[in-house]
Amino acid sequence: MNILGIIGYPIGHSLSPLMHNTAIKHLGLDYIYLPFEVKKEDIALAVGGVKGLGIKGINVTIPYKETVIPYLDGMDESAGLIGAVNTIKLEGDKLKGYNTDGMGFLQSIKIDAQEDVKGKKVILFGAGGAARAIAIQIALEGAEEIIIANRTIEKGEKLTEYINKKLKAQSSKLKAQSSKLKAQIEYFRKADIIVNTTSVGMKSSDTPLFPYNYISDRHLICDIVYRPLETDLLREASKRGAKILNGLGMLIYQGSLSFKIWTGYEMPVEVVRKTLMEELKS
Ligand SMILES: NC(=O)c1ccc[n+]([C@@H]2O[C@H](COP(=O)([O-])OP(=O)(O)OC[C@H]3O[C@@H](n4cnc5c(N)ncnc54)[C@H](OP(=O)(O)O)[C@@H]3O)[C@@H](O)[C@H]2O)c1
């Protein structure tokens, strides 16, 4: 029996065990995927334990995506650029870090929304871990402009600087800037894609990130929140004729990329989607 798993804190609400065990069962593989709740002071022991116990691979979630890096033997290009790891694979006796979050988002845009970010103007709300992975991936994909809009303006500026520095040689078309967008409707008039990478929308009492009347039918509105599947932002965007994309696709595709890295198998994405939708609706 091969062991896979996820480390984080807390871990109780993670959908990853259900997602991966559904795929494992469907394909009849000799694997099991387990949740491990790890305290901050035990993170070195936990990552070392992957190697020591011969665990084939793990996902890493909040708050350890950056913390695990010093304990790895190497990282792939994407994780190196993003500066965070959501997937670790035991390769021989070496631990290698990957980041599938940004690519998972991109696949959801391409497959679920049937859209392309190349040449597009994007407004990205948030400047946390998910924003960093998504911003870097869409910049590499050739987005024309990315505006990082964050509640704490300094964090938005720091992320903008980080991306511009990291991607200098690779994406001359990238023009990221920090901005308090609340009163600046002209950004919205020019934007093609608007992405919420903050946790706003998880509670119905959350204050909207921007006035919904800025949304029009020229926009693709993406919310990476998947609890609930339909946030206020998506509901309001739909009413205004915009195309919408929820966070379930990103969750599934980042998982399917990790699954392929560990097992070599394609995740049965539609089987997994059905199971997760049932779970999220219950
Ligand atoms: N669909 C998926 O597969 C997927 C993958 C990863 C994450 N997510 C979801 O994405 C969200 C963010 O994750 P993360 O890892 O990036 O978290 P994070 O690193 O903690 O960043 C959170 C971001 O949200 C902003 N924020 C939080 N509350 C806000 C509020 N009330 N108003 C405005 N901005 C607010 C923060 O702004 P400040 O800088 O001002 O604090 C920060 O930019 C979570 O809900 C997570 O579940 C989904």
17 pLDDT more than 90: yes
Instruction: Assess whether 242 and 262 both reside in one domain.
Output: no
For residues 228 and 178, give the distance between their C-alpha atoms in angstroms, rounded to a whole number: 28
Please report the pLDDT score of residue 161 as a whole number.
Answer: 87
For residue 264, how far is its CA from the centre of ligand 1 (angstroms)? 31
Instruction: Assess whether 48 and 114 both reside in one domain.
Output: no
179 pLDDT more than 80: no
Instruction: Assess whether 176 and 221 both reside in one domain.
Output: yes
Compute the average pLDDT of residues 140-160: 89
Please report the pLDDT score of residue 34 as a whole number.
Answer: 98
Report the CATH number that the domain containing residue 77 is assigned in CATH.
3.40.50.10860
Instruction: Assess whether 181 and 196 both reside in one domain.
Output: yes
Residue with the bigger pLDDT between 165 and 243: it is 243
Please report the pLDDT score of residue 186 as a whole number.
Answer: 82
- Ligand 1 atom 35 nearest Cα: 198
The binding-site residues of ligand 1, defined as CB within 6 angstroms of any ligand atom, are 62, 101, 126-131, 150-152, 155, 197-200, 202, 224-226, 247, 250-251, 254
Instruction: Assess whether 168 and 107 both reside in one domain.
Output: yes
pLDDT band at 153 (very low <50, low <70, confident <90, very high): confident
Instruction: Assess whether 147 and 208 both reside in one domain.
Output: yes
pLDDT tens digit string along 208-248? 999 999 999 999 999 999 999 999 999 999 999 999 999 99
Total domains, the chain: 2
Report the CATH number that the domain containing residue 123 is assigned in CATH.
3.40.50.720
What strands, in cross-sheet order, belong to the sheet with 243-245? 176-178, 145-149, 121-125, 193-196, 220-223, 243-245
Peptide bond between residue 35 and the one before it cis (omega within 30 degrees of 0): no
Which residue range(s) make up the domain with 109? 102-246
Instruction: Assess whether 88 and 113 both reside in one domain.
Output: no
Rounded to a whole number of angstroms, the distance between the first and last alpha carbons of the chain is: 31
171 pLDDT more than 60: no
Instruction: Assess whether 140 and 228 both reside in one domain.
Output: yes
263 pLDDT more than 60: yes
Compute the average pLDDT of residues 119-127: 93
Please report the pLDDT score of residue 172 as a whole number.
Answer: 42
- Number of Cβ within 10 Å of residue 259's Cβ equals 29
Return the half-sphere exposure (C-beta side, CA atoms, 13 A cut-off) of residue 35. 14
Q: Considering only 2-11, 113-122, 157-166, which range has the smallest mean pLDDT?
A: 157-166
pLDDT band at 98 (very low <50, low <70, confident <90, very high): very high
Instruction: Assess whether 254 and 241 both reside in one domain.
Output: no
166 pLDDT more than 90: no
State what percent of residues in the chain have pLDDT above 70: 95
For residue 129, how far is its CA from the centre of ligand 1 (angstroms)? 7
- Ligand 1 atom 44 nearest Cα: 199
State what percent of residues in the chain have pLDDT above 90: 83
Compute the average pLDDT of residues 199-214: 92
Whether 121 is catalytic is: no
Instruction: Assess whether 213 and 151 both reside in one domain.
Output: yes
Please report the pLDDT score of residue 234 as a whole number.
Answer: 98
Q: Considering only 20-24, 186-190, 277-281, which range has the smallest mean pLDDT?
A: 186-190
For residues 192 and 179, give the distance between their C-alpha atoms in angstroms, rounded to a whole number: 17
Instruction: Assess whether 22 and 61 both reside in one domain.
Output: yes
Please report the pLDDT score of residue 282 as a whole number.
Answer: 81
Instruction: Assess whether 235 and 155 both reside in one domain.
Output: yes
Within the chain, strands assigned E span 2-8, 31-37, 57-60, 74-75, 87-91, 94-98, 121-125, 145-149, 176-178, 193-196, 220-223, 243-245
Active-site position among 56, 65, 96, 182: 65
Residue with the bigger pLDDT between 157 and 93: it is 93
* pTM, 2 dp: 0.95
